[in-house]
Amino acid sequence: METLKQQYITDDKGKKLAVILPMKTYEKMLEEIEEFEDIKLYDEAKKEDDGERILFTEYLKKRKNING
């Protein structure tokens, strides 16, 4: 795992208020969060899957009827 090189912004008393990360590290963190969210959504959808399937054309017909 990559070692994080962060800097802190502190107040007058030394209390940490924010962190500064290199852009490359920040972008990698965002990518990993997005991937985690995708996996979480997939797992949730998989739990709710009842096995029923319809053709995409049928879905479009139903959608058109609902939206008028």
Instruction: For residue range 17-44, list pLDDT tens digits in order.
Output: 999 999 999 999 999 999 999 999 999 9
Q: Range of 50's domain?
A: 23-67
10 domain-assigned: no
9 domain-assigned: no
Model pLDDT, residue 50: 87
62 domain-assigned: yes
* Nearest CA among 28, 21, 27 for reference residue 1: 28
Q: How many domains does the chain divide into?
A: 1
The DSSP letter of residue 4 is: P
- What is this structure's pTM? 0.56
15 domain-assigned: no
14 domain-assigned: no
37 domain-assigned: yes
CA distances to 5, 10, 11, 12, 40 from 17, in Å? 17, 5, 7, 11, 30
